[in-house]
């Protein structure tokens, strides 16, 4: 057996932007009913359109996802500074009792913090003390975990007037009374027959709540929908890719887009282009900016074999927020072929370029280029690479189009391409400081071996990328995934400074007006850096890996820095970064820090040792080969399989005797569906299920032997 296989799902799939099932929270039947647990929140000042548009001058609060409509994620607060960092301590913590990823950015309005957790649960806390005001559990059916590519995460709420808005994994948009936690209304925003999920935060603009969705790995057609904030009525829907050409176009932008899709039957898989994370809004221009995702399937050779740009995949699209008319678009990766979404954060800023003040929009999408565009017109201003890439040589400054490198064309041969589908930068929030003029980007240098799947057929019950991932197991060189903070100068289009981490997973950033950059990390460490040069000035242990970004706010004259800390997300499904002391909290938390904070965390338990593998099955090489293929097709998107500890979903190399005995009941009988592990009986026969089992035990034993041999 090739020992390199052991690394396959622990390293490359770790970066696949995927997710699935769910081994931990209690079955939904044991959950409390979908209702508020408590009441009475004094939300204080009415949070209307005027106040949201003036959020930048409201320094004490964090009123919107990116603090302001500009999505800069910059806090003007200065109480916490380099001089007193040694007094920064924990003010309060809250245990979310969840074991999957926490990705939310909290919203803080006049002393109340609104945030979200695993399975789209919504929380309101006293932002000064951490006391829970109310909690709303939308009771997402656990089977939905299988449809969520990248863990059952939620990136946050929006607050407007008297309500809190949240999208759920199962595709609903909730409006919750901000005072009481009672449901005001909910709308199903998706076709439940299709594998749509929502993990992104809604945005508020002109009295409308805007929500997108995800699912392009399994196969859906992307769109965003605007709902009236008070009534919940749908105002408009904007599709990002054309549907079946035999049917009428929904709007003129679709007619234009359809001309750029050629051959193939993309509408059967869905075409992709999901808007699963970033949006920004310019109230003066009345333009809503949406980041559009990858193609479905990933392979353009399958999706659009006649060529074409496949609009509006991998694009920044500007829409009039009232009419939903397309204003302009800029496609970062024409004819996307590598899962290069452009859903990543978009920052609006006014910066001086060539002696002229420009209203720009900036993005570091997955494809590795940092873009600066005119946000009024979409005019291309500049683009340079913020990570090493191999799919393009440069962006033509005249046309604004990337010049592809044929070394990344994998129709006939496997090609190793940088970056891989994790992207040079993913959803992890970056932060722009108007003080330093730098954009602080959480960067991951990674790669993937892309191979065209021969004889691809759409299967509505599983992933549909048209990529064969198995050749990744044969990459035997010493390539290392590297995570960094890159402080990017958007005018000079180059790094001003770089800080390299000693682990492989990214997390979000916050810059403040005292010229500090804060980052809680995958390695259970919360650190502060000098915004001018990247010097590490302070750090503290958090007992848990963090992937989310911090925010800052002020209550009663004290500045807080807070974040949700819960390991999981795409890479967290398969990998864990150890905490320095070998101890790790069993649940996610909300953590809030302030100067003079003296709160403490209970001692975390020691991480258990890795158990010995269960014995191999005596089977033929052909059975093992089939097991490998089926594992890569159906299991590897969620489960790791190898020597390491694995992530938040069990590493099957460490399967227990009890779980092995229950294999058929779990895999085919669906006995753990309430934990998110759905039945695969519609995809696998008993024989095939056993072939996977044989492969799992083969890899488990090979991994254990390699470890004990000191490899």
* Interface ranges with Ca ion (CB under 5 A): 17, 294, 339
584 neighbors 607 (Cβ within 8 angstroms): yes
Other CB atoms within 10 Å distance of the CB of residue 30: 8
Phi/psi region, residue 155 (left: phi>0; alpha: psi -120 to 50; beta: rest), is: alpha
Lookup: tokens for 536: 């590490």
Is-catalytic flag, 339? yes
Minimum CB–partner distance for residue 293 and Ca ion (Å): 6
Least distance in angstroms from the C-beta of 146 to Ca ion: 16
- How far apart CA 630 and CA 622 sit, in angstroms, is 12
What is the β-pairing status of strands 74-75 and 510-512? Answer: parallel
Q: How far is the CB of 341 from Ca ion (least distance, A)?
A: 5
> 479: which residues sit within 8 A by CB, 6+ positions away?
447
Shortest separation between residue 216's beta carbon and Ca ion, angstroms: 5
Q: Smallest distance from the beta carbon of 475 to Ca ion, in angstroms?
A: 21
Residue number, 294 or 331, with CB nearest to Ca ion? 294
Helices (H), 595-676: 621-634, 657-661, 663-667
**Residue 101 vs 613, nearer CB to Ca ion:** 101
- Closest to Ca ion by CB, 242 vs 297, is 297
For the bound state, the minimum distance from the C-beta of residue 325 to Ca ion, rounded and expressed in Å, comes to: 27
Residue 607, both tokens: 């991480």
- Considering only the C-alpha atoms of the chain, give the largest distance between any 2 of them, rounded to a whole number of Å: 73
Min dist. Cβ of residue 351 to Ca ion (A): 30
d(CA 641, CA 7) in angstroms, rounded, equals: 8
d(CA 101, CA 567): 5
Residue identified by tokens 């800052």 is 552
**Which CB sits closer to Ca ion, 74 or 338?**
338
3-state secondary structure 267-303: HHHCEECCCCCCEEEECCCCEEEEECCCEECCCHHHH
Count other Cβ atoms within 10 Å, centred on residue 40. Answer: 9
Q: Provide the CA 66 distance to its chain's centre, in angstroms.
A: 15
Least gap, CB of 274 to Ca ion (angstroms)? 8
In the complex, what is the shortest distance from the CB of residue 221 to Ca ion, in angstroms, rounded to a whole number? Answer: 14
* Token pair of 504 as six digits: 């492989």
**Nearer to Ca ion among residue 294 and residue 702 (C-beta):** 294
Helix (H) / strand (E) element for 255: namely helix 252-258
The owner of tokens 């993990």 is 199
Cβ–Cβ < 8 Å for 575, 649:
no
Rounded to the nearest whole angstrom, what is the least distance from the CB of residue 313 to Ca ion in the complex? 11
Q: Is the dihedral of CA 145, 149, 152, 154 positive or negative?
A: negative
CB of 501 to Ca ion, least distance (A): 24
Nearer to Ca ion, 19 or 691 (CB): 19
Measured in degrees and rounded to the nearest 5, phi and psi for residue 647 equal -115, -145
Q: Closer to Ca ion by CB, 294 or 571: give it.
A: 294
What percent of the residues of the chain are helix, what percent strand, and what percent coil, each to the nearest 5? 15, 30, 55
Q: Report the residue number, 339 or 468, with the smaller CB distance to Ca ion.
A: 339
Least distance to Ca ion, CB of residue 339, Å: 5
**Closer to Ca ion by Cβ: residue 416 or 422:** 422
Rounded Cα–Cα distance for residues 467 and 42 (Å): 52
Q: Which is nearer to Ca ion, 170 or 339 (CB)?
A: 339
- If the CB atoms of residues 25 and 429 are measured against Ca ion, the closer one turns out to be 429
SS3 177: strand
Beta-bridge mates of residue 167: 173
Coil, helix or strand at residue 381: strand
User: Of 339 and 698, which CB lies nearer to Ca ion in the complex structure?
Assistant: 339
Nearer to Ca ion by Cβ, of 106 and 442: the residue is: 442
Burial class (CB in 10 A: 0-12, 13-18, 19+), 268: middle
How many other β-carbons are positioned within 10 Å of the β-carbon of residue 567?
28
Residues sharing a CB contact under 8 Å with residue 491, sequence separation 6 or more, in sequence order: 351, 352, 353, 437
d(CA 643, CA 10): 9
Phi and psi at residue 126, in whole multiples of 5°? -70, 115
| Structure tokens belonging to residue 255 | 């007619």
| Backbone phi and psi for residue 205, each to the nearest 5 degrees, phi listed first | -155, 125
Minimum CB separation from Ca ion for residue 427, in Å? 11
Coil vs helix vs strand at 569: helix
| Burial class of residue 398 in the structure, from the number of CB atoms within 10 Å of its CB (0-12 exposed, 13-18 middle, 19+ buried) | exposed
Residues in Cβ contact with 83 at an 8 Å cutoff, skipping those fewer than 6 apart? none
For residues 386 and 369, give the distance between their C-alpha atoms in angstroms, rounded to a whole number.
6
Q: Among the options 170, 282, 339, 468, which is catalytic? A: 339
Catalytic site positions:
339
């Amino acid at each position: 057996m090739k020992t390199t296989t052991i690394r396959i799902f622990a390293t490359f799939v770790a970066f696949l932007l995927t997710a699935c099932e769910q081994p931990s929270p209690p079955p939904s039947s044991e959950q409390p009913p979908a209702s508020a647990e408590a009441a009475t929140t004094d939300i204080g000042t009415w949070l209307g359109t005027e106040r949201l548009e003036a959020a930048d001058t409201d320094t004490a609060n964090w009123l919107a996802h990116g603090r302001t409509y500009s999505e800069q994620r910059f806090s003007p607060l200065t109480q916490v500074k380099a001089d007193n960092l040694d007094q920064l301590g924990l003010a309060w913590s809250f245990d979310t009792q969840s074991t999957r990823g926490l990705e939310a950015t909290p919203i803080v309005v006049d002393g109340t913090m609104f945030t979200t957790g695993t399975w789209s649960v919504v929380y309101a806390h006293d932002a000064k003390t951490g006391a829970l005001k109310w909690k709303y559990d939308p009771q997402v059916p656990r089977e939905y975990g299988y449809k969520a590519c990248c863990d059952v995460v939620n990136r946050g709420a929006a607050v407007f007037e008297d309500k809190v808005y949240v999208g759920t994994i199962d595709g609903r948009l909730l409006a919750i009374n901000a005072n009481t936690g009672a449901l005001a209304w909910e709308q199903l925003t998706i076709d439940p027959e299709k594998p749509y999920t929502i993990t992104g935060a809604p945005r508020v603009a002109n009295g409308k709540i805007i929500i997108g969705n995800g699912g392009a790995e399994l196969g859906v057609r992307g769109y965003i929908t605007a709902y009236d904030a008070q009534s919940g009525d749908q105002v408009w829907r904007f599709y990002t890719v054309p549907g079946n050409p035999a049917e009428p176009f929904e709007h003129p932008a679709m007619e234009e887009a359809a001309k750029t899709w050629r051959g193939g039957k993309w509408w059967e898989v869905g075409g992709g282009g999901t808007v699963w994370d970033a949006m920004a809004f310019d109230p003066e221009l009345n333009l809503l900016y949406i980041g559009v995702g990858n193609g479905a399937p990933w392979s353009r050779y399958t999706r659009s074999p006649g060529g074409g740009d496949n609009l509006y995949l991998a694009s920044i699209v500007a829409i009039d927020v009232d009419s939903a008319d397309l204003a302009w678009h800029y496609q970062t990766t024409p004819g996307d072929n590598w899962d290069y979404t452009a859903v990543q954060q978009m920052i609006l800023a006014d910066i001086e370029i060539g002696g002229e003040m420009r209203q720009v929009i900036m993005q570091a999408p997955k494809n590795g280029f940092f873009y600066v565009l005119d946000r009024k017109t979409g005019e291309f201003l500049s683009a340079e690479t913020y990570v090493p890439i191999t799919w393009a040589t440069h962006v033509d400054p005249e046309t604004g189009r990337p010049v592809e490198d044929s070394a990344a064309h994998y129709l006939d041969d496997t090609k190793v391409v940088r970056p891989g589908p994790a992207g040079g930068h993913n959803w992890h929030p970056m932060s722009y400081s108007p003080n330093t003029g730098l954009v602080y980007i959480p960067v991951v240098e990674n790669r993937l071996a892309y191979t065209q799947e021969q004889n691809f057929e759409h299967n509505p019950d599983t992933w549909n990328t048209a990529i064969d991932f198995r050749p990744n197991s044969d990459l035997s060189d010493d390539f290392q995934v590297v995570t960094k903070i890159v402080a990017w100068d958007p005018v000079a289009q180059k790094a001003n400074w770089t800080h390299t981490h000693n682990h492989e997973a990214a997390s979000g950033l916050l810059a403040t007006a005292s010229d500090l950059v804060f980052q809680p990390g995958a390695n259970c460490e919360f650190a502060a850096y000098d915004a001018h040069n990247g010097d590490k000035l302070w750090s503290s242990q958090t007992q848990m890996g963090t992937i989310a970004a911090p925010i800052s706010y002020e209550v009663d004259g004290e500045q807080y820095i807070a974040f949700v800390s819960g390991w999981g997300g795409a890479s967290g499904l398969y990998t864990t970064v150890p905490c320095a002391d070998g101890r790790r909290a069993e649940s996610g938390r909300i953590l809030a820090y302030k100067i003079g904070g003296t709160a403490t965390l209970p001692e975390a338990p020691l991480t258990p040792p890795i158990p010995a593998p269960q014995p191999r099955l005596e089977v033929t090489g052909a059975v093992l080969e089939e097991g490998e293929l089926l594992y890569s097709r159906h299991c590897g998107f969620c489960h790791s399989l190898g020597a390491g500890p694995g992530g938040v979903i069990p590493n099957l190399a460490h399967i227990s005797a009890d779980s092995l005995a229950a294999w058929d009941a779990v895999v085919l009988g669906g006995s753990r569906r309430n934990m998110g592990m759905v039945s695969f009986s519609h995809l696998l026969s008993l024989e095939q299920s056993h072939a996977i089992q044989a492969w799992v035990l083969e890899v488990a034993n090979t991994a254990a032997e390699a470890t004990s041999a000191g490899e």
